Structure 1
Amino acid sequence: MQFCDECGSIMHSTDGEMVCSSCGATQSKDEEMAEEFVSTEAQTEGDVIESSPEADFEGKPTADDVTCDECGHGEAWYTIKQTASADEPPTRFFKCKECGHRWREYS
């Protein structure tokens, strides 16, 4: 793994040189490390974290043990993400099925 000298972010290989994922700076490949680079499988749609306000929750699991603070509706779609260290409980993110209000619940 090679890190950017400018900002410290992880770099990826493009056309024989290393390109920073954050700031776009380029560097030549560290030839000592070249044999240690490992490619991984492409990210699947299931691995994507829905973080934008436009993210579509429809089709996700439904919780009926919650109450929306905005409209009082008792059903919401939810997704679970590990937002802290692995020994901490995950966070549930909700979207009201009635009004679309979003909130999170820490266990």
Structure 2
Amino acid sequence: MKFCPKCGTKLQVKRGKESLFYSCPKCGYEERAHTVEKSIETRRKDSAVKIVRKEADLNPLPVISMVCPKCKNKEAYWWLSQTRGADESATQFFKCTKCGYTWREYS
């Protein structure tokens, strides 16, 4: 990786008629490239590890005792959101831990 000696911007490799050269996209500085370095990263397919979990296992929301209006389950996730003006109270949302139904309660 080379940088422009005038402005410090990373130089880009350009192809000329007979050779390669470095060019600054900011100030227009150019210099002939005697060697161009190219880095290649390879990964073996079998070295990757895939972790699969249910979405419910990944839910970081707190749980509260609340009866779901749809399935009558007694637990729900909850969170607050400012859905109206800043001078008004926040809206509390609930999501059933069993069926996933979401409802809200205005404070």
The alignment's TM-score, normalised by the length of structure 2, stands at 0.44
TM-score (norm 1): 0.44
